[in-house]
Chains A and B, each alone.
Chain A
Amino acid sequence: MNRITEILANPSRRKLLVPFFTAGYPDLKTTLELVITSADSGADIVEIGMPFSDPLADGPQIQYSSHLALQNGITLRTIVDSVYTLRKQVSIPIVLMGYFNPLIAFGEKRFIREAAHAGVDGLIIPDLPIDEAMAYSKYMKNNRLSSIFLVAPTSTDSRIRQIDNMSTDMVYAVTVTGVTGTGKKFGQSTDRYLKHLTKILTKPFVAGFGVSSPESAQRLCQYSDGVVIGSALVQIIRAARTKRASVSKIGQFLKNIRKSI
């Protein structure tokens, strides 16, 4: 059974904490350590970013980590193989997130098959909205990979319903009109938007884009099932003096967030 389906089926589950790491940043070995540390520090699902040369939905932090990851020679092949290795050590659900073109180069269906086989639980493709994803949804389902689609503050109600319908287990709510890592303070309009989503969506949803502190995580969790944190983690890793230090700093940061939600 898909690990995401499994944790969502738990009626007394806690708020979901979902860290995002770019595969291969600062290097592949450290990425794997970060995933393991996350599992031990209160994370419920881990998102692994598949770097792309032109990440147009991402802000400066993830542009930076993607650029370095590509310089480190990361490919979809190495990512799928790494998940296979990771699966011997962690049981936490793993979601891969990345742009569509590398999947085309790999072969979309072949990628879905191999990712599922390696132990991946879900996929998020930010430049593949529901309209273009129809062709793959059945194939994803057959391979027991969860399709996670994004809703945005600009999505209409009828569109939110379609996204809810197309998503397998859960939905990802983009909190701001903007790219990742804006670091803006969430105000009442975000509260209203998330509250509105709780009324329309039938599936659980996590909120992301711009979550940077225990306070912001707490605020979003009032009206959602959890939070995704990405750019803020890149910043912590960049600021750490060594790779080893970055792993322990991330662990500490996630524990703090865990306590707050």
Chain B
Amino acid sequence: MARKFTTLPNSQGRFGPYGGRYVPETVVYALTDLEEQYHKIKKSSTFKKELQSYWSDYVGRPTPLYYAERLTEYLNGPRIYFKREDLNHTGAHKINNTVGQILLARYMGKKRIIAETGAGQHGLATATVCARFGFECIIYMGAEDIRRQAPNVEKMKLLGAKVVPVTSGSQTLKDATSEALRDWVTNVRTTFYIIGSVVGPHPYPMIVRDFQSVIGKETKRQCLKSFGKLPHTIIACVGGGSNAIGMFSAFLNEKNVRLIGVEAAGYGLQSGKHAATLKKGKPGVLHGSYSYLLFDADGQIILPHSISAGLDYPGVGPEHSYLKDTRRVLYESVTDKQATDAFKLVSRLEGIIPALETSHALAYLMKARKQFTRRQHVVVCISGRGDKDMGIIKL
């Protein structure tokens, strides 16, 4: 019998062996509460209607499925389609989830919001919904990321968020997440923690996936309408993995659709300076869940590297770990250089500047061109727009 993926996680928050709730006792009650409230609100038709209306009138959904004709011609096939998550309000898929979680926070009566951010896209999406709902907003961001993603920091401040620079460790997403968790442990009674990816303790990987699954559901409909069948392959970049899970979730049981997640190989998989967690990591525990992780022989976390701040994280969502082990999704990687080249090429050919994160998915498609025939349909999830990366890219 074919494996069914749609009933996960189980009641312990596990995707196979992965996931769970590895957190200090202080926040256990908050996670139990969050899980209960989420199950309640999920079934409410008022909530569904409200979420739907914010997605359509505020975020701008459904996002288009766009035929990338010139890229297709340039590569001489396959037929390439872009799922345009870059066209969402605030320029990335992140807001699909923050709209859902802020409604959940309001329902639970919490008015102080905290979040971690790497590239600043999740921070921006959180600051945006906090402004819209009039909630206090504190964003933890690594000092290194603040430097390399300055435009997003300015936007968050304009929206009224307090951006707290994190100077511990590598001063990137990993440390921002630890600091956000410390805040949550301290202020758990009043504070809602909006996690930005399919990581962290149960129920977060499930909640974020559910809110992001709108990407895959729309894509499925749009493919049928546009070319009358499901695509041959779908490609998405993977840091924590929220855009990828959101896209893949609608196709997990469609066994004829190939799913490919692309990680950041940084300076190369052999260089030791990369963020290819699934490719090079081992199962371990960080930030609340059991999942693939980059750590050394003594169990200490290895500092990852990627030119893309959104992929510069040593962990990955537990559901991805399960999808890797079961081989339902194939995980590949591309280097900083390959991603940067794709960033420039797609900008020139399509008039679309993709985020550096997204550029990893595009770079893989170029690298793997020969696997496809000209007639096959490939969808790439364009998770976000790239103007935030102008400071990093040297033309």
A residues with a Cβ closer than 8 A to B are: 52-57, 59, 63, 70, 75-77, 99-106, 126-129, 131-132, 149-156, 159, 163, 174, 177-179, 182
Contacts and interface: CB of A to CB of B under 8 A. Distances in A.
B297 interface: yes
Contacts of A174: 24-26
A151 B189 CA distance: 16
Given A179-B185, A179-B186, A57 B299 contact: no
B287 A56 contact: yes
A127 B185 CA distance: 12
Interface in B182-239: 182, 185-189
Contacts of B68: none
Nearest to A155: B25
Q: Secondary structure of the B side of the interface?
A: mixed
Nearest to B283: A104
B185 A101 contact: no
B186 A152 contact: no
Nearest to B181: A56
A123 to B, nearest CB: 15
25 contacts: A53-B301, A54-B174, A54-B301, A56-B287, A57-B24, A76-B299, A100-B22, A102-B300, A104-B283, A104-B299, A105-B284, A105-B296, A127-B23, A129-B25, A131-B20, A132-B20, A151-B25, A153-B26, A154-B26, A154-B29, A154-B188, A155-B25, A159-B29, A178-B186, A182-B186
Interface of B: 12, 20-30, 168-169, 174-175, 178, 181-182, 185-189, 283-288, 293, 295-301
A101 B24 contact: no
A100 B296 CA distance: 14
Contact of A152 (B12, B22, B25): B25
B22 A127 contact: yes
A177 B301 contact: no
Contact of B189 (A56, A57, A75, A177): A177
A128 B25 CA distance: 8
Contacts of B175: 54
Contact of A177 (B12, B185, B295): B185
Contact of B168 (A52, A63, A75, A102): A63
A101 B25 contact: no
A153 to B, nearest CB: 7
Contact of B300 (A53, A126, A149): A53
Contacts of A151: 25
Nearest to B175: A54
Which of A52, A103, A152 gathers most chain B CB within 10 Å?
A152
Contacts of A53: 169, 300-301
A127 B286 CA distance: 9
Contacts of B297: 105
Contact of A105 (B27, B288, B295): B295
B213 to A, nearest CB: 27
B299 A103 contact: yes
A103 B299 CA distance: 7
B286 A131 contact: no
Contacts of A76: 298-299
A-B pairs, top 9 by smallest CB distance, nearest first, are A105-B299, A102-B299, A152-B26, A178-B186, A53-B300, A152-B25, A75-B298, A57-B24, A150-B25
B23 A154 contact: no
A178 B285 contact: no
B61 to A, nearest CB: 35
B300 A104 contact: no
B285 A104 contact: yes
A77 B283 CA distance: 20
A126 B24 contact: yes
Nearest to A59: B182
B26 A177 contact: yes
Given A54-B169, A101-B285, A101-B293, A70 B300 contact: yes
B21 A54 contact: no
Nearest to B202: A131
B24 A52 contact: no
B285 to A, nearest CB: 5
B186 A101 contact: no
Contacts of B181: 56
Contact of A179 (B28, B182, B284, B285): B182
A33 to B, nearest CB: 24
Given A105-B296, A131-B12, A152-B26, 17 more contacts: A53-B300, A54-B287, A56-B178, A57-B185, A77-B298, A99-B285, A101-B293, A101-B300, A105-B299, A106-B298, A129-B25, A154-B30, A154-B188, A174-B25, A174-B26, A177-B187, A177-B189
Contact of A104 (B21, B188, B284, B296): B284
B149 to A, nearest CB: 22
B116 to A, nearest CB: 12
A153 B189 CA distance: 11
Contacts of B189: 154, 177
B186 to A, nearest CB: 4
Contacts of B300: 52-53, 70, 101-102
Contacts of A102: 298-300
